[in-house]
């Protein structure tokens, strides 16, 4: 079963700081080299995992962009009031980096749970919501939120993916992601990471989203577990969480019924999909099945088995869950850097040009890793002068993943994993700007195919095998089978590239570690052959003797038996000394046999090993013709009697161009050609004129003349041809120059296009942020409108005239009732209040009072009157903003005309009462609830010889040297105050100045019966000395004496 699902110990991407928890600590799933002992349960790792997370709670990451505020409102409004969800919620939205967000305040309106803007180092708690602040990336590590400065350019930031990935690595199966409204594809890669860790993926239904780009991007990958409207999500979330992490106990013991159900589930999977999962690690298999059980709210594996039998579509869904591929471009960047530095160059170092370089990527999932390796190979190819046939075989058991990999289409969020340089060189952006497609130069290197690593035969003659994060999901027996299989498939010095949490286990004799940290291994040879002997000195260098690497059997034969064919060929070459060259399809010289200086010369300047550039005069033209014909026809081309000039000496050769055949009938013919030069034995007649026999006579002379004439004509034609060729070469140079200029222009246009694409991405990001800000501002405007309406209705309802002025006393606002005091019209807004005619009388220092309040910030109150006679209580106070900034003053006028009339009436009544009392000859006093003097008539002051100013407000018991301070009188007055029942005829004796000792009768009554307790009291004094038969006594004697008695 060839498939990766998640990585152990992933490093962060280049644009993301390392805040993730290494997955290698997550149970035994990340230790591919350790097999369970015979005594341990195969499900024991799950039991440990569940025990370690018993006290943890699910964390819900909610990602949104444009249109997210409405979705947030629907989501949180649907959570029942006073319901404990048991989950923490973390909201990540695309926010403008330089704009203060009000998202926290908005979310608080829709939920009763505590809502906070996230702070660095803040530990998350259940039933809390945390909001990402603007211009920050946020990650979760060990249950604590960490804020980081964004390192990616503004238009390439992917805060949702960033947080979702950290959430997956930190919370594993307790990670839940919700993708709401937004444009682009942010959140897709993060959702893949959460699904790979066994978490839940929930997506907003596109028809309910204001912008459906983000939800559709996740749905297109098939990662979603639920597609719902935001208002339906909380109920489904709580049902899933209660079932998955509530009272239901996950399968942690391999009981007989559980083991039987698990076996039958594997049988159903094999019969339906054709793939056997029985050799998966059982803990991983059980955890994925438990997740599906929780999704359908079942209780046991037996129930789920029956559900599978009734619903074949669920078998396919379980199959997809088991094969969730968590992968991305250049995953573990340092590992790929080690591969680029230490492995890729050695794949080409000992290979002749034109030979294949074969790579196998097992469990390629959706192709990101395979394309990453292909990009590294292409980058190295571009640095070489030789050409090679690179083949990358990428296989996976999931047909849907292979189809996606073949398309080479990926979301725009891959920009977080791929450097801008590689993104520009090896990817092209889609017309809609929603994703990237791999360039043809890289796509042509790969062959994708569906393959089951367990049952299908492997590839062979491989130089590199990448099998990362697949072995960790297979049991130890299968691992022990696969490592030797990789050894068999690799060439000598082949390389095996594993995941960070994987190893070769017990197969230490098959591989040597090339990089222990990043799990790169070099194939070892197990077969010991004969040692090398001195025969090697007769053979050509190994790097030029073969065009393809030998297979393992050939390597073993060469070590055990001398190369007789090589010895024979070398002996023939030494004896006959032929002149030949092996060249590539572009004319580059690859191998030289014999002395070639008669036909080729080294050029001056930069070294150029092109055969046409090095050809001597007279050889270039026929050689060009022969090569063109040989390449086009793929057949042997012979050109006899070619004339070559060497230092004014003319020689002639027969030229043969021979395409090399393939090494086997199944192989593709190599793009290689053998040039053979055979000198002709004939000599030039003109170079030996004395060799003509004397008996040939005139015929010989005539023949020589004819030959001379023909040679002159031939020389003239050759000169003409040479001139023509030079003109053609000049034109060709001009065309080359024009072509170079066009290429330069094309590169500039491409650069401009890349800049435009970058600008488009930035504008799209800014547009999303502006859309979010616009919605926030609309909400704020609506709030302000409601607040303004409330204030207007409040001011109108109270009827209080209000005037607002700024620091310069310019009118900024007023209520309609203010026009009754100050003659205001709408156009007076902005004018100084001192320029407006006032309706107030006898109040000329209004401006001075306002200025004083603005300077001292001490409110001022004063009663003022209008020309119509209405009275108002004017209050002047400073105008404070929410930030406690003084921006002017507010003046209010409360109508107190009614209270003024009441006061006047009360004053008249009081004067009438005082006049009436003064007319009564009997001394009278009125005491308040504290028995202090409120009022007394003139008769009282005259009788007792007391001045009004001496006793006003004093206690009765303090008057006249405290002679009234007796317990009996105190008790009497207290009873009258509390009961409201008056007392008459209470007689006391008192020393009256000028009159001597007198008997005084007190008649006491309460003035406000039935009201507050205690009440006011009226006391009337009468001199009854003449009617009293008893002698006068001192009223200061102890209470209860015979000197104080009530009237009979």
Residues classed as catalytic: 65, 94, 186
Distance from C-alpha of 25 to C-alpha of 914, rounded to nearest angstrom: 96
The two counts, helices (H) then strands (E), for the chain are 29, 37
Contact indicator for 986, 1002 with CB cutoff of 8 Å: yes
Instruction: Enumerate residues 6+ apart whose C-beta is below 8 A from 87.
Output: 57, 58, 59, 60, 126, 127, 176, 237, 238, 241
How far apart CA 956 and CA 74 sit, in angstroms, is 72
Return the number of other C-beta atoms located less than 10 Å from residue 759's C-beta. Answer: 11
Relative orientation angle of helices 256-273 and 301-310, to the nearest 10 degrees? 20
Buried b (16+ CB within 10 A) or exposed e, 792-827: eeebeeeebbbbbbbeebbbeebbebbebbbebeee
Complete DSSP assignment for 283-350: HHHHHHHHHHHHHTT--SHHHHHHHHHH-HHHHHHHHHHHT-----TTSSHHHHHHIIIIIHHHHHHT
> Could you identify the residue written with the tokens 């793009």?
671
Q: How far is CA 920 from CA 459, 913, 1006, 1018, in A?
A: 131, 11, 19, 14
For residue 615, give both structure tokens.
């050809």
The angle formed by the CA atoms of residues 541, 547 and 548, to the nearest 5 degrees, is 115
- 659-665 long-range contacts (CB < 8 A, ≥24 apart) are 659/630, 659/631, 659/634, 659/635, 660/547, 660/582, 663/547, 663/548
At 175, list the tokens.
């990670």
Distances (CA, A) of 849 to 216, 242, 664, 819: 66, 67, 109, 20
Please state, in angstroms and rounded to a whole number, the distance separating the CA atoms of residues 137 and 728: 62
Per DSSP, what are the bridge partners of residue 449? 395
- CA–CA gap between residue 871 and residue 888 (Å, rounded): 25
The torsion of the CA quartet 371, 375, 376, 378, rounded to 10 degrees, works out to 130
Tally the C-alpha atoms within 13 A of residue 441's C-alpha that lie toward its C-beta: 13
What is the biggest distance separating any 2 CA atoms in the chain, rounded to whole angstroms?
210
Residue 1014: cis peptide before it, omega within 30 degrees of 0: yes
Which run of H or of E encompasses 164? helix 159-171
Where does residue 601 rank: exposed (0-12), middle (13-18), buried (19+ CB within 10 A)? Answer: middle
Please state, in angstroms and rounded to a whole number, the distance separating the CA atoms of residues 427 and 374: 13
Starting at the edge strand found earlier in the chain, the sheet holding 1045-1046 runs 933-936, 924-927, 1017-1023, 996-1006, 983-992, 1045-1046
Q: Please list, residue by residue across 1026-1043, b when 16 or more beta carbons sit within 10 angstroms of its beta carbon and e when fewer do.
A: eebeeeeeebbeeeeeeb
C-alpha distances out from residue 458 to 75, 362, 448, 556, Å = 50, 10, 14, 21
């Amino acid at each position: 079963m060839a498939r990766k699902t998640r990585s152990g110990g992933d490093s962060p991407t280049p644009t993301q700081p390392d805040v993730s928890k290494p997955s290698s600590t997550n149970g035994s799933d990340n230790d591919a080299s350790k097999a369970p002992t015979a005594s341990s349960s195969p499900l024991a790792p799950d039991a440990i995992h569940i025990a370690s997370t018993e006290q943890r709670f699910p964390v819900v990451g909610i990602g949104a962009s444009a249109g997210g505020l409405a979705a947030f409102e629907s989501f949180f409004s649907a959570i029942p009031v006073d319901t404990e969800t048991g989950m923490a919620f973390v909201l990540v939205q695309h926010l403008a980096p330089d704009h203060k967000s009000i998202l926290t305040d908005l979310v608080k309106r829709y939920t009763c749970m505590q809502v906070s803007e996230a702070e660095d180092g803040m530990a998350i708690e259940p039933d809390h919501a945390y909001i990402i602040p603007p211009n920050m990336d946020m990650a979760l590590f060990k249950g604590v939120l960490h804020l980081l400065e964004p390192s990616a350019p503004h238009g390439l930031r992917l805060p949702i993916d960033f947080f979702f990935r950290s959430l997956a690595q930190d919370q594993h199966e307790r990670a839940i992601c919700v993708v709401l409204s937004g444009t682009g594809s942010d959140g897709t890669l993060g959702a893949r990471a959460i699904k790979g860790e066994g978490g839940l993926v929930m997506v907003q239904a596109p028809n309910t989203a204001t912008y459906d780009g983000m939800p559709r991007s996740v749905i297109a990958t098939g990662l979603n577990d639920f597609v719902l409207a935001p208002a339906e999500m909380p109920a489904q979330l709580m049902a899933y969480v209660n079932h998955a992490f509530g009272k239901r106990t996950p399968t942690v013991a391999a009981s007989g019924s559980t083991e039987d159900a698990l076996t039958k589930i594997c049988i159903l999977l094999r019969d339906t999909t054709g793939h056997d999962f029985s050799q998966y690690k059982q803990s991983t298999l059980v955890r994925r099945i438990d997740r599906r059980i929780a999704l359908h709210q079942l209780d046991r594996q037996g129930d789920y088995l029956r559900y599978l039998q009734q619903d074949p579509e669920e078998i396919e869904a379980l199959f997809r869950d088991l094969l969730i591929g968590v992968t991305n471009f250049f995953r573990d960047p340092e590992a790929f850097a080690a591969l680029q530095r230490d492995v890729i160059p050695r794949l080409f170092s000992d290979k002749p040009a034109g030979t294949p370089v074969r790579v196998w990527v097992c469990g390629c999932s959706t192709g990101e890793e395979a394309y990453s390796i292909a990009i590294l190979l292409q980058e190295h190819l571009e640095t070489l002068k030789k050409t090679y046939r690179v083949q990358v075989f990428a296989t996976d058991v999931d047909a849907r993943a292979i189809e996606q990999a073949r398309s080479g289409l990926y979301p725009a969020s891959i920009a977080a994993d791929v450097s801008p340089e590689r993104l520009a060189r090896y990817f092209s952006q889609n017309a809609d700007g929603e994703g990237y497609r791999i360039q043809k130069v890289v796509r042509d290197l790969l062959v994708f195919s569906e393959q089951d690593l367990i049952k299908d035969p492997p590839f062979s003659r491989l130089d590199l095998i990448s099998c990362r994060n697949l072995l960790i999901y297979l049991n130890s027996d299968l691992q022990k089978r696969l490592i030797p299989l990789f050894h068999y498939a690799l060439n000598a010095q082949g390389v095996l590239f594993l995941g960070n949490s994987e190893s070769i286990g017990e197969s230490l004799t098959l591989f040597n570690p090339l990089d222990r940290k990043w799990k790169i291994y070099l194939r070892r040879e197990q077969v010991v052959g004969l040692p090398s002997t001195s025969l090697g000195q007769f053979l050509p260098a190994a790097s030029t003797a073969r065009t393809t690497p030998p297979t393992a059997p050939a390597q073993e034969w060469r070590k055990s038996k001398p190369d007789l064919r090589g010895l024979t060929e070398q002996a023939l070459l030494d004896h006959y000394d032929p002149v030949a060259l092996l060249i590539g399809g572009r004319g580059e010289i690859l191998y030289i046999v014999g002395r070639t200086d008669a036909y080729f010369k080294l050029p001056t300047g930069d070294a150029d090993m092109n055969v046409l550039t090095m050809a001597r005069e007279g050889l270039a033209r026929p050689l060009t013709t022969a090569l063109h014909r040989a390449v086009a026809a793929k057949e042997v081309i012979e050109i006899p009697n070619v004339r070559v000039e060497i230092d004014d000496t003319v020689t002639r050769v027969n030229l043969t161009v021979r395409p090399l055949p393939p090494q086997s009938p199944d192989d593709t013919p190599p793009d290689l050609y053998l040039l053979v030069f055979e000198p002709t034995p004939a000599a030039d007649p003109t170079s030996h004129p004395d060799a003509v026999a004397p008996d040939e006579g005139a015929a010989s002379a005539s023949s020589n003349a004819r030959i001379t004439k023909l040679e002159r004509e031939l020389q003239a034609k050759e000169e003409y041809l040479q001139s023509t060729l030079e003109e053609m070469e000049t034109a060709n140079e001009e065309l080359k120059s024009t072509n170079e200029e066009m290429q330069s222009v094309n590169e500039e246009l491409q650069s401009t296009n890349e800049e435009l694409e970058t600008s488009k991405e930035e504008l799209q990001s800014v547009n999303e942020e502006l859309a979010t800000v616009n919605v926030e501002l609309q909400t704020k405007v609506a709030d302000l409108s409601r607040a303004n309406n409330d204030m207007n209705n409040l001011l109108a309802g109270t009827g209080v005239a209000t005037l607002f002025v700024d620091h310069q006393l310019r009118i900024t606002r007023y209520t309609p009732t203010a026009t009754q005091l100050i003659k205001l019209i709408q156009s007076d807004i902005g004018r100084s209040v001192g320029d407006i005619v006032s309706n107030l009388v006898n109040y000329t220092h209004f401006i001075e009072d306002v200025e004083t309040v603005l300077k001292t910030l001490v409110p001022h109150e004063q009663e003022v009157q209008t020309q119509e006679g209405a009275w108002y209580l004017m209050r002047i106070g400073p105008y404070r903003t929410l930030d406690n900034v003084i921006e002017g003053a507010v003046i209010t006028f409360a109508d107190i005309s009614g209270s003024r009339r009441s006061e006047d009436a009360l004053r008249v009544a009081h004067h009438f009462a005082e006049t009436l009392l003064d007319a009564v000859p009997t001394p009278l006093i009125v005491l308040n609830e504290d028995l202090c003097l409120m009022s007394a008539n003139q008769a009282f002051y005259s009788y007792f010889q007391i001045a009004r100013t001496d006793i006003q407000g004093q206690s009765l018991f303090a008057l006249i040297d405290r002679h009234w301070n007796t317990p009996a009188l105190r008790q009497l007055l207290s009873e009258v105050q509390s009961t409201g029942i008056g007392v008459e005829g209470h007689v006391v004796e008192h020393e009256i100045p000028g009159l001597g000792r007198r008997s005084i009768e007190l008649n006491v009554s309460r003035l406000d019966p039935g009201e507050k307790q205690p009440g006011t009291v009226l006391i009337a004094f009468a001199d009854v000395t003449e009617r009293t038969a008893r002698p006068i006594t001192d009223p200061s004697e102890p209470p209860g004496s015979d000197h104080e008695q009530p009237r009979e």
